[in-house]
Amino acid sequence: MYDRDEFERMAPPLRANNHNHNMLDVLQQAHVSIENVTGHADWDRYLSYLQAFIERTKVQREQFAAVLADPSITEHSDMMTAKIALLECDAQIKAWVAAITLPAQIKAGYEIEVEEWLKKSSPSEDKTKS
C-alpha cells in the first residue's frame, strides 16, 4: 500500500521530473540498434544519449503504471497525476524514437534520391547504341 510520501517519491511533479537531469544523466549513453547507427562518431554518440533517455523514461513509465494499477490509490488527483505522467512518458518515448530513426531515414532517402538522379542523368542503353 502506498502512502502520500511514497506516491510523491514515485510520481514527482511533471515539470520537475522533466528538467531535473544532472550531468551524469545527460552524459549517460546506451546501445543504439545497428539499423540506426550512422557511421559518424558524433551522431552515434548523440543517438546513444537519446537511447539512454528512452530507457530511463521506460523505467519512469513503469513506476507511473504501477501507481495507476494500485487499488489503494483512490484519490482522483493522484490517479490523474500518474495518468498524465504516464502519457507524457509515452509521448517522450515516441519523440525520442523518431529522433533516433531520423538520421537513418535521411541517409536512406538521400541514397534513394542519388540513385534516382543517377538513373535519370545517365545515358540509356538505347542512346549509347545509336
Residues 6+ apart with CB under 8 A from 43: 103
Residue listed under C-alpha cell 538521400: 110
3 state DSSP class of 37? coil
Domain assignments of the chain as residue spans, ordered by start: 4-123
At 14 the pLDDT is 44
Give the number of residues written for the chain.
130
- What is the number of other CB atoms lying within 10 angstroms of the CB of residue 126? 7
Q: What's the CA gap between 97 and 30, in Å, rounded?
A: 13
Q: Which residue type sits at 52?
A: A
How does pLDDT run across 87-97, given as a tens digit for each residue? 999 999 999 99
Residues 6+ apart with CB under 8 A from 35: 104
pTM confidence score = 0.59
Whether 65 shows a pLDDT value over 70: the answer reads yes
| Cβ–Cβ under 8 Å, residues 65 and 87 | no
Of 42 and 69, more confident: 69
